[in-house]
Amino acid sequence: MVSTRHHPRDFPSPEKAAKELVKSSPAPTTNGTAHKWVHTPSAALTIWLVVSVPLVIWDAGYVLLRPHSMPGGRLHSPIWTPYALYGTVDYIYGWPAYNARNGFTAAQTVMNVVETLGYLYYLWIGFVWLLAGEKVVAGRTGAIALLVAFTASVMTLSKTLLYWLNEFFSGFDNIGHNDAASLIFLWIIPNGLWIVFPAYSMIILGDEILNSLEQVPPRRPGRPKSS
């Protein structure tokens, strides 16, 4: 008769199985150092932030210093002269919204400041590591920088979409007076950049976060406490 019994070694314990799984899971490395996660800053994202962050700071200065930064104000020329035109294209930045005490402009600008602080942190961390001769940001510092940049990108995209939706649901109250050319070249394209690039940043940074989570080995099953 053929025996149907198997030796106990054919059935490893859950603890042993967990150990084998941990051993077989690849650990993120940097410069040959095991168990140390790294983040490589995206060149496209870095270039976008170098260009966009000064523009956002310039924009925030205009909004938060109104009415002094507006046409006729003592701070308007020469720093914020272009807003004399833009304020006639988008009333949310012009006298109509200011005189109506519309708080949306300042509210979204405060959110801009929060996002910009996050982006500045990301750029600073990358700059420090670049000066140190490193091409990657390693360990917890890199993880925090990645998380901050991803969060700020989500905030930027969400706020910009809210900005567009505010116009849609108000019947284009602030921009509906423009002709097609002015609307496309002075409002849609400039503001659309703050949808395209944050969305791209979310994709590449989110993919990196997801890949990092997938590489984390499973935790060893906990043992019940003895009574």
13-22, 114-123, 212-221: which has the minimum mean pLDDT? 13-22
Q: Which of 6-15, 73-82, 209-218 has the highest mean pLDDT?
A: 73-82
pLDDT per position as a tens digit, 14-62: 445 444 533 443 444 444 444 567 888 888 899 999 999 999 999 999 9
pLDDT band at 108 (very low <50, low <70, confident <90, very high): very high
Positive or negative CA dihedral for 27, 30, 35, 39? negative
Q: What is the pTM of this model?
A: 0.78
pLDDT confidence of residue 218: 64
**Mean pLDDT score, 90-108:** 96
pLDDT confidence of residue 216: 66
Burial of 61 (0-12, 13-18, 19+ CB in 10 A): middle
